[in-house]
Structure 1
Amino acid sequence: MILLTNEHKPINLQYRNMRIAYSVAIVITILLGLASRKWSLLLLSFVAQNAGDILWAMMVYFGFRLLLVRKSTLTAISLSFFFSFGIEFSQLYQEDWINQIRGTTLGALILGKGFLAEDFVRYTVGIIIATVLDKMALKFTTRN
């Protein structure tokens, strides 16, 4: 039995399309984040200081939407806050083994290097922006 959505698309096709869209959003967000670091001198100081963390939190949100496409937006928002804030709090833990991981490029991009309270604001802004973009995209794609 194939269930149909309001647009008369099979549900599995709808979820596949959503996964593709979230995958594209993740790749674009990662590229923008890397570009914000590489060309930070070309950006306004405020943008250069904040863009990386905002984009990182957006990527986390899109990642949860990709993995949990059948779950609510609220679930992705909650998990994004929990994950992002958890990573930031983990930076208070400073032992040699984890600092060696943080010393690698990938480790620094994922785990960060040092605790900064202002990162909580950046993560919040990033998750809000990603949620708004997500809602706008869903509204646009489900219009008749």
Structure 2
Amino acid sequence: MRIRRWSIYLVLIFSTLLLGLASRKFAPWLPSWIAAYAGDTLWALLIFWLIGLLRPSWSSKQVAATAWGFAFGIEISQLYQAPWLNAIRATTLGGLVLGYSFLWSDLVCYSMGVLAGYLLEKSKRLWQ
């Protein structure tokens, strides 16, 4: 059984988080397509790394399926605009995690982010 190296995953999580935040902060200076889609793609990649860290014995397919399902669930939840949920979304952390409004393009970004994590993990360099 392969076990993920938590030290590598912490570096991946931190790096992906910084890149995602930077993609939003520096959006005016980035090409428009990168500014529009990088944050969502990196968000899904971050979810992949987090699940991989929390479930070190899971296969890459299990991690990818769970990350993909979680990301799609969050996006679909944006169709529900209850006042209490919108109050959470109005906070910085709530907005970063839950998003604001449903976009079909986000589903593509999430799929690409999870796929990137899966392919990087399958390179076997991230395993012990």
With the shorter chain as reference, the TM-score category is over 0.9
User: C-alpha distance in 2, partners of 1:96/1:42?
Assistant: 34
User: C-alpha distance in 2, partners of 1:89/1:21?
Assistant: 31
Deviations 1:15-51 (A, max 9, x none): 4x71111111111000000000000111110000000
Alignment of 1:69 with 2:22, yes or no, is: no
Following superposition, the deviation at residue 108 of structure 1 comes to: 0.4
User: C-alpha distance in 2, partners of 1:73/1:51?
Assistant: 22
1:79 alignment counterpart = 66
AA aligned opposite 2:120: L
Deviations 1:45-80 (A, max 9, x none): 000000000000000000110011111111101101
Aligned with residue 120 of structure 1, among 97, 107, 111: 107
Q: How does 1:38-57 map to 2 (within 5 A)?
A: 38-57=25-44
Rg: which structure is higher? 1
User: C-alpha distance in 1, partners of 2:122/2:59?
Assistant: 11
User: C-alpha distance in 2, partners of 1:141/1:110?
Assistant: 28
Structure-1-length-normalised TM-score? 0.83
Aligned with residue 97 of structure 2, among 106, 110, 119: 110
Q: Percent identity?
A: 41
* Equivalent residue pairs, number: 128
Where structure 2 has 5 or more consecutive residues not aligned to the other structure, the ranges are none
1:129 alignment counterpart = 116
Q: 1:26 to 1:139 in 2, by over 3 A?
A: closer
- 8 Å contact 2:75–2:102 — kept in the other structure? yes
Following superposition, the deviation at residue 114 of structure 1 comes to: 0.4
SS at 1:70 equivalent: coil
AA aligned opposite 1:19: W
Q: How does 1:21-32 map to 2 (within 5 A)?
A: 21-32=8-19
User: C-alpha distance in 1, partners of 2:56/2:6?
Assistant: 7
Structure with larger RCO (C-alpha < 8 A, sep 6+): 2
- Coordinate RMSD, CA, aligned: 1.7
1:93 alignment counterpart = 80
